[in-house]
Structures are given as structure tokens and as C-alpha cells.
Amino acid sequence: MSILFFIIGTFAGFYSIYKAVTSLDKIYAINKNGIKAKASVIEIRKKKQTDSDGDTSYLYYYTVKFRDNRGKEVREEIDFPVNNKSLRTPPFDVDIIYRRKENQEFDIILETNNGRNTGFYISLITGIAVLSYVIYTYDGQIDIILEFINNLFK
């Protein structure tokens, strides 16, 4: 049973770190190659989340409408949620940065959302904490799981 926990914990830690890095990479790509625009928030979707202690918090996903650089009207949900609900009710204007993907979809972030990196930090800290716990608990056995992962992908 303990080796199973070791394997699952290691995969969970690496996956959490991978998720954090890909999230941050997406944010940087949008900031670097994106186009700034004004958009109108037309809808706010509220998502409830509960942590391991049973504490409840909410994330807010904005659906925006804007015209892209080709003049086409776009209506899409912003990729990263906001931690605090806006005091304004839709419709209201926001500044966004968007990037057109190859399949005609968009990656969109709020230009002023300083909390957009929160998910990155939470995933990164969680991954490092899980891996640290696994390494601390199973002293010297990390080589076994790394060899297992290496053989799995051959």
C-alpha cells in the first residue's frame, strides 16, 4: 500500500508542477504575442470550490464581447478566473489581451487581473509540497519512482 501511495503522490506532484508551468507559459505567450483591446463583460459565471479543510470560495469567469483586429465580433469566456466578484453588473467595459489560436479560437486574459497568476502559484506550491512529502517520507526511494517513470515513457 505504501508504494502505491508513493507512486500516486509522485505523479500528483509532477502533474501539479506541469499544470503550473503550462498555465504560466500560456499567460506569458498571451502577454508577449497578444493584442490589447477593449471588451464588454456580458456575463459572469460563478464557480464554487471547496478546499480540503471544507472552506468554500468562489471563482468568477467573465464572458466578454469585443471586436478583433479583423473587425469580427467575438464572444468568449476569459481563460483565467477572477477571485473577487466585480461590484459592477454586466455589461461593463474591461481591458483584455487576446491571442488568436490556429483553430480560430482565442486565448484571452484580463489586462489588469493581477490575480491571474494565483492558479500558477497554488499548483506549483502544491506540487512541490507533495513531492517534498513523498521524498521525506520515502527516503532514498525517489530513484525507484524516477526509474519507473523513465521506463514507462520508453
Taking only the tens place, the pLDDT of each residue in 19-59 is: 888 877 777 877 788 888 888 998 888 888 776 667 787 88
pLDDT of residue 1: 46
Query: Contact 36/95 with Cβ under 8 angstroms?
Result: yes
pLDDT of residue 154: 66
Residues 6+ apart with CB under 8 A from 30: 79, 97, 98, 99, 107, 108, 109
- In the numeric block, which cell numbers belong to residue 10? 509522485
pLDDT digits (tens, 9 = 90+) for 124-137: 788 888 777 777 77
> CA 21, CA 110: separation in Å to the nearest integer?
19
pLDDT of residue 65: 92
The dihedral built from the CA positions of residue 121, 79, 105 and 71, taken in this order, carries a sign that is: negative
Domain regions of the chain by residue span: 17-152
Please state, rounded to an integer, the average pLDDT across all residues of the chain: 78
> CA 8, CA 121: separation in Å to the nearest integer?
21
Q: Check whether 142 has a pLDDT greater than 70.
A: no
Instruction: Give residue 95's pLDDT band: very low, low, confident or very high (50, 70, 90).
Output: confident
**DSSP of 65-108:** EEE-TTS-EEEEE-SS-BSS--SSPSSEEEEEEEEE-TTS-EEE
> CA 145, CA 128: separation in Å to the nearest integer?
16
